């Protein structure tokens, strides 16, 4: 035998019109007593409407967007008389929408470990997401659902519900995105930049980013979020080096490839890396060991019409300045024509980003991880330098070393740069 019972909106205080935000049942669903059947919302609060019976839903009388009030019929439930669970109307569970809600961090998500293509990264994303305390526009049932999946609803930027409310589907989509992409843009717990409609301010045009720019952007963001980076600034006196370079170039026949200062910088850098092995290294995946490299390959950031690419000069220690100059000329030409092969860009130990041909006094380059450091170079400038007795005009080259602070200590960074500086100031040292 069965009874037909009704689920109605209980007394929720003197509120005339309550919005139906989400309906979580359909005919044929089996519901338990106090199971959430719908989410309602007033101006001030969001509430889960629990079932007042357990049984099978026969009919649902509301849909999202409807307005209800005390006594409105929500659904009918077929209840077996043996179960006879008919009760007094159950009070909805309310959560004040406008006030930050402190959420208890649940156990790490199991789902991610099972399904994610990159388990470590995805797991990290979900676990990080669990530990925050913030407000989110979501009903208690959605919060519970999110918690069960190990998702912090505050990491879901906007919901697809009314007024941006986060619905169950948004939580599911968030998880799907993490699983398919390995992470999401906001996966490290960083709030995303809000989307702005610029049209009120004037005309705009949307240009698609080149593939190189998009990939570089993803890589740089990943590095920025993972590496504690420090940038150390130094200046090298390259007056003598420049005089020597000019002599060499003057000896060259017309049309022969000229040598830029960058080749000396590459050599000076590698000589310092030979003295400081931790700069020619990568951190192991578990962060517990340093992988020291016995080869010396230097990546050179090259500016191309499609974005930044980094061809690698291989075995720099075994090559002459002239050889390196022609290799860079060939590779940067290939880079600008978009003809670099993957092998041309692999195997770098440290990268140089030189803006010296353009200008600048200093900048903070981003490490090309898993390398541990990058050397930035800006424009050399004649400066008065005090030699203890008088000011002399010297050509000073600004250098910026950014390093991964997990691997390199500040003092080590400073010593390394002092060595690079010495090597450039007196290039005879490169013979040692
Ligand atoms: N100070 C003063 N002059 C400099 C200099 C410096 N630090 N660096 C280069 N120059 C001079 C060169 O001597 C050359 O002068 P001449 O024309 O009189 O010979 C001129 O500037 C142009 O040099 P160049 O840039 O063509 O050559 P390079 O070997 O110094 O650099 C390359 C090659 C490929 C690194 C460079 O062309 C390039 O693409 N730089 C941009 C890299 C970049 O975008 N980095 C940013 C990464 S972070 O977003």
Which residue among 252, 357, 374, 380 has the greatest number of ligand 1 atoms within 8 angstroms of its CB, and so is best to mutate? 357
Which residue among 239, 252, 257, 260 has the greatest number of ligand 1 atoms within 8 angstroms of its CB, and so is best to mutate? 260
Which residue among 221, 242, 321, 356 has the greatest number of ligand 1 atoms within 8 angstroms of its CB, and so is best to mutate? 356
CB-defined site of ligand 1, < 6 Å? 258, 260-262, 300-303, 308, 332, 353-357, 365, 377, 379-380, 397
Measured by CA distance, the residue closest to atom 41 of ligand 1 is 303
User: Where does the chain hold its CATH 3.30.559.10 domain(s)?
Assistant: 229-431
Measured by CA distance, the residue closest to atom 34 of ligand 1 is 302
Would the pTM count as exceeding 0.75? no
Contact criterion met (CB below 8 Å) for 36 and 48? yes
Listed range (48-52, 352-356, 369-373) with the worst mean pLDDT: 48-52
Quick check: is 233 catalytic? Answer: no
Q: Which atom of ligand 1 is nearest to the CA of 258?
A: 19
49 exposure class (CB count in 10 Å sphere: 0-12, 13-18, 19+): buried
Going from the Cα of 377 to the center of ligand 1, the distance in angstroms, rounded, reads 9
Share the mean pLDDT of the chain: 84
Domain 108-211 has CATH 3.30.230.10: no
| Model pLDDT, residue 133 | 33
Q: Report whether pLDDT(247) > 50.
A: yes
Contact criterion met (CB below 8 Å) for 52 and 72? no
- The per-residue pLDDT for range 72-92, each reduced to its tens digit, is 999 999 998 765 544 455 555
| Model pLDDT, residue 127 | 27
Q: Report whether pLDDT(35) > 70.
A: yes
Beta strand 373-377 with 391-404 is antiparallel
Stronger pLDDT, 114 or 242, i.e. the higher one = 242
Going from the Cα of 256 to the center of ligand 1, the distance in angstroms, rounded, reads 18
User: Where does the chain hold its CATH 4.10.320.10 domain(s)?
Assistant: 108-211
| Model pLDDT, residue 110 | 35
| Model pLDDT, residue 81 | 72
| Model pLDDT, residue 265 | 98
Listed range (157-171, 244-258, 287-301) with the worst mean pLDDT: 157-171
Going from the Cα of 379 to the center of ligand 1, the distance in angstroms, rounded, reads 9
- Angle among Cα 372, 375, 380 to the nearest 5 degrees reads 170
| Model pLDDT, residue 196 | 93
| Model pLDDT, residue 111 | 32
Measured by CA distance, the residue closest to atom 32 of ligand 1 is 302
| Model pLDDT, residue 234 | 98
Going from the Cα of 47 to the center of ligand 1, the distance in angstroms, rounded, reads 63
SS3 of 145, please? helix
Across 162-171, average pLDDT? 82
Going from the Cα of 357 to the center of ligand 1, the distance in angstroms, rounded, reads 3
> Which positions ≥6 away from 72 have C-beta within 8 Å?
8, 9, 61, 62
Q: Which atom of ligand 1 is nearest to the CA of 380?
A: 1
Q: Report whether pLDDT(372) > 90.
A: yes
Measured by CA distance, the residue closest to atom 8 of ligand 1 is 356
Stronger pLDDT, 339 or 13, i.e. the higher one = 339
Q: Report whether pLDDT(334) > 80.
A: yes
Cite the beta strand spans of 286-367 per DSSP E. 290-292, 298-300, 302-304, 307-309, 312-313, 350-354
Element at 175 (helix H, strand E): helix 168-181
- The per-residue pLDDT for range 213-225, each reduced to its tens digit, is 999 999 999 999 9
CATH number for region 229-431 = 3.30.559.10
Q: What are phi and psi of 209, to 5 degrees?
A: -70, 145
Contact criterion met (CB below 8 Å) for 119 and 113? yes
pLDDT-derived band at 180, boundaries 50, 70, 90: low
Measured by CA distance, the residue closest to atom 45 of ligand 1 is 353
User: Where does the chain hold its CATH 2.40.50.100 domain(s)?
Assistant: 2-91
SS3 of 355, please? coil
Domain 2-91 has CATH 2.40.50.100: yes
Going from the Cα of 303 to the center of ligand 1, the distance in angstroms, rounded, reads 10
Residue 111 to residue 123: CA distance in whole angstroms: 9
Listed range (1-15, 135-149, 212-226) with the worst mean pLDDT: 135-149
| Model pLDDT, residue 157 | 74
Q: Report whether pLDDT(120) > 70.
A: no
DSSP string, 14-83: S-S-EEEEEE---TT-EE-TT-EEEEEE-SSEEEEEE-SS-EEEEEE---TT-EE-TT-EEEEEEEETTT
Q: Which atom of ligand 1 is nearest to the CA of 365?
A: 48
Q: Which atom of ligand 1 is nearest to the CA of 377?
A: 7
pLDDT-derived band at 135, boundaries 50, 70, 90: low
- The per-residue pLDDT for range 121-132, each reduced to its tens digit, is 222 222 233 333
SS3 of 126, please? helix
Going from the Cα of 299 to the center of ligand 1, the distance in angstroms, rounded, reads 14
Q: Which entry of 8, 222, 233, 405 is annotated as an active-site residue?
A: 405
């Amino acid at each position: 035998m069965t009874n037909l019972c009704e689920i109605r909106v209980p007394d929720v205080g003197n509120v005339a019109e309550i919005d139906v935000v989400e309906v979580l049942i359909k005919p044929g669903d089996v519901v338990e007593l106090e199971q959430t059947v719908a989410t309602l919302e007033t101006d001030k609060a969001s509430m889960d409407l629990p079932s007042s019976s357990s049984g099978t839903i026969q009919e649902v009388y509301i849909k999202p967007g409807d307005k209800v009030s005390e006594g409105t019929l929500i659904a009918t439930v077929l209840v077996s008389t043996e179960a006879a669970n008919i009760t007094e109307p159950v009070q909805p569970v309310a959560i004040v929408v406008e006030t930050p809600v402190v959420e208890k961090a649940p156990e790490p998500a199991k789902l991610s470990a099972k399904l994610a293509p990159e388990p470590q990264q995805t797991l990290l994303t979900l676990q990080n997401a669990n530990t925050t305390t913030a407000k989110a526009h979501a009903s208690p049932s959605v919060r519970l659902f999110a918690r069960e999946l190990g998702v912090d609803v505050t990491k879901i930027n906007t919901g697809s519900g009314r007024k941006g409310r986060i619905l169950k589907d948004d939580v599911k989509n968030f998880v799907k995105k993490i699983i398919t992409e390995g992470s999401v843009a906001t996966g490290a717990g960083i709030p995303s930049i809000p989307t702005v409609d610029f049209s009120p301010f004037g005309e705009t045009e949307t240009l698609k980013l080149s593939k190189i720019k998009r990939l570089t952007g993803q890589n740089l963001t990943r590095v920025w979020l993972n590496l504690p980076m420090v940038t150390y600034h130094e200046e090298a006196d390259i007056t003598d080096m420049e005089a020597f370079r000019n002599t060499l170039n003057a000896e060259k026949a017309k049309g022969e490839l000229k040598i830029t200062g960058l080749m000396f910088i590459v050599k000076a850098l590698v000589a310092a890396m030979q003295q400081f092995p931790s700069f020619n290294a990568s951190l192991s995946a578990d962060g517990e060991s340093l992988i020291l490299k016995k080869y010396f390959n230097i990546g050179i950031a090259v500016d191309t019409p499609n974005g930044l690419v980094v061809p690698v000069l291989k075995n720099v220690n075994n090559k002459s300045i002239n050889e390196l100059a022609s290799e860079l000329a060939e590779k940067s030409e290939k880079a600008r024509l978009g003809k670099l092969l993957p092998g041309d860009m692999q195997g770098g130990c440290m990268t140089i980003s030189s803006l010296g041909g353009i200008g600048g006094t200093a900048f903070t380059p981003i490490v090309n991880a898993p390398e541990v450091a990058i050397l930035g170079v800006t424009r050399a400038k004649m400066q008065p330098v005090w030699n203890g007795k008088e000011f002399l005009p010297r050509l000073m080259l600004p250098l910026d070393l950014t390093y991964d602070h997990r691997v390199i200590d500040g003092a080590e960074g400073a010593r390394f740069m002092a060595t690079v500086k010495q090597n450039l100031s007196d290039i005879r040292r490169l013979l040692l």
